[in-house]
Amino acid sequence: MELWYTEQHTDNVRFSIKVDKPLYSGQSEFQRIDVFNSKEFGIFFTLDGLMMVTEKDEFIYHDMIVHVPMATNPKIKNVLVIGAGDGGTVRELTRYNSIEHIDMVEIDKMVVDVCREYLPQTACKLDDPRVQLYFEDGLKFVRSKENAYDLIVVDSTDPFGPGEGLFTREFYGNCFKALKDDGILVNQHESPYYAEYAKSMQRAHKRIRECFPVCRVYQAHIPTYPSGHWLFGFASKTYDPLIDIDEQAWNNLDLKTRYYNTEIHKGCFALPNYVKELLVSADE
């Protein structure tokens, strides 16, 4: 018997992983949650059938969403994480002793519960004393905050389903208000390659640019995401990740990372021409 997990990357493209064993399947108030074990990618989990995290390549995503802003401003103390129910983002953040407090807001408690049980690799630091968990809509949570955070990390699903509010203009505007005067917003920014994802990416970029004076996009290679070519957004009120990166300070921390390094940091903002064009034309 052969068991395959298949994600439809477009109407005409499929991506499959041979499943060794299904581990969990459940329906929360918001979405369907599945966990599988596989030979190639280890344990992985999906929401409404879409790939979220695999044991084998999650380090790439979590390195890039956390270390880029942290190397830009090593003085970050208060962090808000939105989404990120698997815990990987929090795990990377807790490696910085300088961080004093992390609020993590995940709409779906069941995602966190399932990841705690099946994905300890990413969920292992959710009980760190600096971490406070909230199970509510990120859009609602951030609305009431003002001048409160040095960094907001938006580690969300795609902009359809429960994550839709996290790609809206009102959300980015509320984040701007919730950040301090030198605050940074980093977000999962979809992919430039397939048309549907590229549209979401353009929309997000346009809306962020309308809210923040500094607005850049960087990339990483994530094998299990559609096309493998994935983008992150870096927006801030003052810091420019290319000018303000404190290489020495970050390297002195001596954090062992498998993907991120300060050379990657400088290189990941260099984008292919077609992506640059998509970003420029995001207004149209």
Candidate list 155, 240, 246, 283, residue with the active-site label: 155
CA distance 73 to 241: 8
Q: Quick one: which of 95, 72, 59, 82 has its CA closest to 220?
A: 59
Q: Under a CB-based contact definition with an 8 Å cutoff, are residues 230 and 62 in contact?
A: no
Helix (H, G, I), strand (E, B) or coil at 66: helix
**Contact status: 54 vs another protein (CB under 8 A):** no
Site for another protein in 120-139 (CB under 8 A): 137, 139
Q: Which residues pair with 217 in a beta bridge?
A: 233
**Contact status: 165 vs another protein (CB under 8 A):** yes
CA distance 232 to 101: 23
Phi, psi angle pair for 20, to nearest 5° = -85, -45
Q: Which stretch binds another protein (CB under 8 A): 2-10, 41-49, 127-135, 159-167?
A: 159-167
Q: Which is nearer to another protein, 114 or 139 (CB)?
A: 139
**Contact status: 144 vs another protein (CB under 8 A):** yes
Q: Which is nearer to another protein, 55 or 164 (CB)?
A: 164
Q: Active-site residue 155, yes or no?
A: yes
**Contact status: 174 vs another protein (CB under 8 A):** yes
**Contact status: 143 vs another protein (CB under 8 A):** yes
Helix (H, G, I), strand (E, B) or coil at 138: helix
The DSSP secondary-structure symbol of 168 reads: S
**Contact status: 169 vs another protein (CB under 8 A):** yes
The residues annotated with a catalytic role in the active site are: 155
**Contact residues for another protein (CB under 8 A)?**
137, 139-140, 143-144, 162, 164-165, 168-171, 173-174, 177
